[in-house]
Amino acid sequence: MTRRPGRMRPSSGATITDVAQAAGVSRATVSRVMNGRPTVDAAIAERVRRVVDELGYKPSRVAQSLSLGRTSTVGVIVPDLGNPSFQQILHGVNRSAAAAGYRVLVADSAETPDDEPALIEDVRRRTDAVIVCSPRMNADTLAALLPRVQPIALVNRDEPVDAPRVVVDSGAGVAEMCRHLIGLGHRRIVHLDGPVGSNAQAARLRGLTAIGEEHPEVELVRLPCGSTIDEGHAVFDQARATGSTAIIGFNDLVALGVLEAARDRGVRVPRDLSVVGFDDIPFARLSSPALTTMSVDLEEVGETAWRALEARMKGEEEDGPRVFAPVLVPRASVDPVA
């Protein structure tokens, strides 16, 4: 099957010099033709184009990048490429960036949470700008990093910093969800906490605290968990043991894991137990029962991050963070308590 003997030159390709020689013109002229500058004699342009076709010449992007001082590439750094939420954000960024003539370089900080800054710097050096999603690094580290990697846009960081930001109002979201549950009679609710140190988790805490003050009659318990299906699955028994009538997953993945564990244990949702998530990933409506959740359009978050970054690159001033307010999507995983 398809053996090529010997070494393989990476399809080296013709350079602008090859074209210039073959066409008997200067490289400047070739460059002008390639870039559609109108100031080239029609006959010469035609001749150059023919040679370009014959040789299959394509300008080197990296040479252009060095010469022009820009790569037309934007970096996107996420904590976990396997997480549907970040996949959606990536999708949104890619769509709008592509429409603007940019390509997307992705990176996943999962393997190297401590090296977030180094990773971001590395990605930034290969691109014109970066979008960083839910960075876990602390505020000081972030502040020290920012000036080195401008232009940069941040997704889900609450501190005011010198960078455009788009944030999902997780605190308000969890509070709204709590009120929904409380309105249905739930008096003991367990919240499955997300990754420690994550911005979203901190926001949840604020939301829960606010609800605690607003509803002293309600018992709000918290359990360390995480952000994956497996973590949600694993924490189920513990959550159940709290005697709560409702479980709030840090995100839909966690809630889906809880749902699966409930099925394994023969606990009926929502009759025996209400379960809710956060994010409204595409599968939330397909679970059984369909998951009640707080919806946020993460593709639009991605698109917005791109637009904010683009504006910054053009030197426009931003007027504060772009805030997405999650909206409650009641489905079938919640029952009132008797």
For residue 153, CA distances in Å to 93, 101, 269, 306 come to: 11, 18, 40, 8
Counting contacts by CB under 8 A, is residue 125 touching a copy of itself? yes
Burial class (CB in 10 A: 0-12, 13-18, 19+), 42: exposed
Q: Is the peptide bond before 164 cis (omega within 30 degrees of 0)?
A: no
Shorter beta-carbon distance to DNA: residue 269 or 313: 313
Counting contacts by CB under 8 A, is residue 300 touching a copy of itself? no
For residue 241, CA distances in Å to 85, 189, 197, 247 come to: 29, 12, 26, 11
What DSSP element (H or E) covers 132? strand 129-133
Residue 95 and residue 150 in contact, taking contact as beta carbons nearer than 8 Å:
no
| CA 111/CA 85 separation, integer angstroms | 18
The torsion defined by the Cα of 330, 167, 308 and 132, in degrees rounded to 10, comes to: -110
Counting contacts by CB under 8 A, is residue 94 touching a copy of itself? yes
* Positions 58 through 117 that interact with DNA (CB under 7 A): 58-60, 63-64, 66-69
Counting contacts by CB under 8 A, is residue 162 touching a copy of itself? yes
* Positions 11 through 40 that interact with DNA (CB under 7 A): 15-17, 24-29, 31-32, 34-35, 38-40
Counting contacts by CB under 8 A, is residue 338 touching a copy of itself? no
Counting contacts by CB under 7 A, is residue 46 touching DNA? no
Contact residue for a copy of itself among 289, 300, 328, 331 (CB under 8 A): 289
Counting contacts by CB under 8 A, is residue 52 touching a copy of itself? no
Alpha carbon 89 to its chain's center: 4
Q: CB of residue 279 vs a copy of itself: minimum separation in angstroms?
A: 14
Q: CB of residue 10 vs DNA: minimum separation in angstroms?
A: 11
* Positions 184 through 213 that interact with a copy of itself (CB under 8 A): none
Residue 7 binding result from a copy of itself, DNA, none, given CB thresholds of 5 to 8 Å by partner type: a copy of itself
Q: CB of residue 219 vs a copy of itself: minimum separation in angstroms?
A: 29
Counting contacts by CB under 8 A, is residue 98 touching a copy of itself? yes
- Residue 75: name the closest of 112, 128, 111 by CA: 128
Q: CB of residue 52 vs DNA: minimum separation in angstroms?
A: 10
Residue 300 binding result from a copy of itself, DNA, none, given CB thresholds of 5 to 8 Å by partner type: none
Q: CB of residue 254 vs a copy of itself: minimum separation in angstroms?
A: 12
Residue 212 binding result from a copy of itself, DNA, none, given CB thresholds of 5 to 8 Å by partner type: none
**Strand order across the beta sheet in which 292-295 lies:** 219-224, 188-193, 246-248, 274-279, 292-295, 327-329
Which amino acid type is present at position 43?
A
Q: Which residues bind DNA (CB under 7 A)?
A: 15-17, 24-29, 31-32, 34-35, 38-41, 44-45, 57-60, 63-64, 66-69
